[in-house]
Amino acid sequence: MTEQTSAPLTAEQLVSQLELAIHEHRLAPGTKLGEDEIASIYGVSRTTVRSALQALSLQRLVEHKRNRGAYVAQPSLREAREVFEARALLEPRTAFSAAERTTEEDIAKLQVHIDAEHEAMAVGNHGRALYLSGQFHIEIARIADQTTIETFIKQLISRSSLIVALYWQRRTAMCESHAHDALVSALADQDGPRADELMRNHLLDLVTSLDLRNKTSAPLSLKDALAQ
């Protein structure tokens, strides 16, 4: 973490910093989020930290344990299955709808996501690649112009990030089939049925990359995990 030289972060800015660290898997599920340590790392007050952690708990990214403090949330095996079942119900149809509405500008934006994913994978930053992958799926939901479903998908992808951090067994699963490239091609062609099928198969591939029996071990210290 670089030395604080500007005004201290607001609670909202701290939420964004911690949320990104969780989604990029720098903060693994089960990590204890000590208020004093976070306050020291970011040069903010405990009140700011407490407010940020409360906001993250409302997003279900952080859970508070009685008399023990705050921890990065750990989805159960049951929830892991339910989340991906819900994604399999929503996202293929959303991809179909997106294909009917995709513009050249949308395709260009999606390609930027893919290029950034490949760059992250090339340097071994799997957490960053997975975060970008989630943003790619959210962007497809935005293109579909179905606000209510987009909100659900955002929530599911947020939970998926924690699930993948806990249960994945193939760290290259996100790029093995170049599924995102194929999806962009289908959207560019405005081929709804193909986009639906590709999304369905992509989510199935993702599920098969998970080992829904084992959990990863707890990570580095907070200071190391949040270093930038």
The helix (H) or strand (E) run that includes residue 76 is none
Tell me which amino acid residue 150 is.
E
> What pTM did the predictor assign?
0.77
CA dihedral 199, 203, 205, 209 (to 10 degrees): 150
With a CB cutoff of 8 Å and minimum separation 6, the contacts of 116 are 132
Closest-CA residue to 161 (of 38, 41, 20): 20
Tokens matching residue 120: 């992250």
Tens digit of pLDDT at every position of the chain (228 positions): 444 456 788 989 999 999 889 888 888 888 999 999 999 999 999 999 999 999 999 888 999 998 889 999 988 888 998 999 999 999 999 999 999 999 999 999 999 989 998 898 888 888 888 889 899 999 999 999 999 999 999 999 988 888 888 887 655 555 445 889 999 999 999 999 999 999 999 998 888 888 776 555 555 567 667 765
Burial of 118 (0-12, 13-18, 19+ CB in 10 A): middle
Domains within the chain, CATH numbers bracketed: 11-74 (1.10.10.10), 77-208 (1.20.120.530)
What spatial distance separates the first Cα and last Cα of the chain, rounded to whole Å? 5
Phi, psi for residue 54 in degrees, rounded to 5: -65, -40
Q: How far is CA 116 from CA 100, 106, 123, 135, in A?
A: 25, 16, 11, 11
Judged by DSSP in three states, 122 sits in: helix
